[in-house]
Amino acid sequence: MICIRIFRTSWEAERGKEALAESGITATVSEDKFNDVPIQRYGVPARFRLLVADEDYLKSAQFLVKKLRLKKVRS
């Protein structure tokens, strides 16, 4: 699995996962932990990683670039 983006909230990471699913890319969200304890308990800001399979990395990167370009054009 390859991390394609790190988010500060699980909600943002889940939205990224849903966006990739629209394009047929399966992704998972992983929360950073230390000894199975969320890192926020140690005073470190939360981090949620959006992960894709190695073989989907290029496809997901291209999909995200297109999404960002569309968003920039609409702004």
Hey, where are the domains in the chain? 2-69
Cβ-based neighbour number of residue 47 at 10 Å: 18
- pLDDT, mean over the chain: 88
Per-residue confidence (pLDDT) for residue 56, from 0 to 100: 94
pLDDT at position 68, please? 67
Q: Which of 64, 53, 49 is nearest to 12 (CA)?
A: 49
Measured CA to CA in angstroms, residue 21 lies from 26, 44, 67 at distances of: 6, 30, 13
> Which pLDDT belongs to residue 30?
95
Can you tell me the mean pLDDT for 7-35? 92
Which of 14, 15, 27 minimizes the C-alpha distance to 59?
Answer: 27
Residues in the chain: 75
Q: What is the tens place of the pLDDT at every residue in 30-59? A: 999 999 999 989 999 999 999 999 999 999
d(CA 60, CA 19): 10
Question: In the chain, what percentage of residues exceed pLDDT 70?
Answer: 91
Given 1.10.8, 3.30.70, 3.30.420, 3.90.550, which CATH number is that of 2-69?
Answer: 3.30.70
